[in-house]
A and B are shown apart, each in its own frame.
Chain A
């Protein structure tokens, strides 16, 4: 089985994240850029398939600036076999529709049996790109799985919905997204880090992929920082804090 895993490099959620005051785009220089945790979990799903069946081939696909090659190397050090990096200056600020068109074109070249992605990135939070990719490729989307079983030419699992869960399945090829309730990712080991350097990474441009720009696009019209919160009063409980809090809530008409 050939598995493609979509990887996105994002600013670490543990740092303060900012927008570029000029463009309103993500400020990539503000803090550390890392592989989004949810993508590591997606990769872990693929690696667990490979643990059981060594013939499994895992290709990671990332679209992003130069620095995104680090995210690909990290994935290779965790155990993926090869990488594809879509690198093109014209993609800076690309919206979801354009991103999906580009990823879908790259995926046609990869020819995977299953495409695994995170359900939602921590920077965009749109949760739409994998579904768009599925639409481009004419594939079923088995989204938001918290439990996943990939074998026998089929994917099945538990989908976390708004009102309980669904048991869902699809015959491969398919696009799958996982939630953060799937297993935490493994750490790269020493051997993984060494061999990652020798694994192939294919860097491609928009022209290489032959993708047309979609006619419609989302554009940013305004952006402004909101004032940060300031800390209020803080008291040490001397045995009366519960009563004082009740007074505070009543005085401020919060109850």
Chain B
């Protein structure tokens, strides 16, 4: 079976990032998954067994201090080394802030081509075919690479399931310490890690818009999210107004979600917002203005005030649970 490389990103604490599961699962559906990582110190036993549990049959680690101080290029070097050593059929990376830049540089360095933001992968007559969801899910597009190595970025949260567990062989090489990269001067990790599910993978998402009016009022969105075990999302207007961090933005220039249930509170439903949520299975919208375009895509729409409807909803859900 052909080798499929997956770029494993590490957090600044050296932990395996959440994207590894989906990448290894996708790789296992195509061939033999090998995890590639650039790391300042050799991976811990814990990290190695975690990658094995996620399906890595091999780990290729490139070790060097610059993995912690130089942006991206150490991972490009690690992948390029693994490509030369293992002659893979494809390289998979998360369509994350780091993953896409690393994949892009790699494609040029090894003379490959890039398929961006795939939502699923399959093999067809020995070729890897990527499916993309274009214009907010209005189109399904399939693409493949001809004439060189396929480097593919995968939409986070799009791949479900797990690869069968494996016991990885570990190959260790040293980073060269060269290469053009930007410097990481400081790491300012997000202060709070919430106990809520991750937005991209959540089964239920509750989003709030400008209609919430203030950061204080936005708590209502969080309360409903917690009552439903949901992730919190937002419109760009709510992010711009400082109600929530940018990472919560759903839409054209934010996260794309496809949950079982999406609840939009005080969101007008601009086309750029719909582009990030209209593939949800069920959409519920609450908005004061009955003409809001959000109702065009809602399975259940309520023309009403979020400040009266939502507390009643939370109350009713609580009563049923009791």
Contact = CB atoms under 8 A, between A and B. Distances in A.
Contacts of B286: 241, 245
Contacts of A15: 271
Contacts of B275: 13
A48 interface: no
Contacts of A236: 290, 302-304
A202 interface: no
Interface in A122-140: 122, 124-132, 134-136, 138-140
A150 to B, nearest CB: 13
Contacts of B116: 96, 124-128
Given A132-B105, A141-B71, A237-B302, A224 B188 contact: no
Contacts of B317: 246, 249, 255
Contact of A254 (B107, B142, B204): B204
Contacts of A207: none
A243 to B, nearest CB: 5
Contact of B113 (A180, A181, A218, A229): A218
Contact of A162 (B96, B140, B204): B96
Interface stretch (B20-28, B143-151, B162-170): B143-151
B141 A24 contact: yes
B97 A167 contact: no
B123 interface: no
A216 B303 contact: no
Interface stretch (A49-57, A58-66, A168-176): A168-176
Contact of A243 (B145, B278, B316): B316
A216 B147 contact: yes
B interface SS class: mixed
B256 to A, nearest CB: 9
Contacts of A97: 107-108, 112-114
Nearest to A170: B182
Interface stretch (B42-50, B55-63, B306-314): B306-314
Interface string A213-240: 0111111111111101101111111011
Nearest to B295: A234
B177 interface: no
A174 B111 contact: no
Contacts of B181: 140-141, 170
Interface stretch (A72-80, A81-89, A153-161): A153-161
B79 interface: no
B145 A165 contact: no
A216 B112 contact: yes
Nearest to A11: B135
Contact of A166 (B71, B101, B138): B71
A109 interface: no
A134 B180 contact: yes
Interface of B: 11-12, 17, 71-73, 76, 95-98, 100-105, 107-109, 111-117, 129, 134-135, 137-149, 153, 180-191, 204, 228, 236, 246-247, 252-253, 260-261, 270-272, 275, 278, 282-284, 286, 290, 295-305, 308-317, 320
Interface of A: 13-19, 24, 38, 95-97, 100-101, 120, 122, 124-132, 134-136, 138-144, 146, 156, 158-170, 174, 179-181, 214-226, 228-229, 231-237, 239-250, 252, 254-255
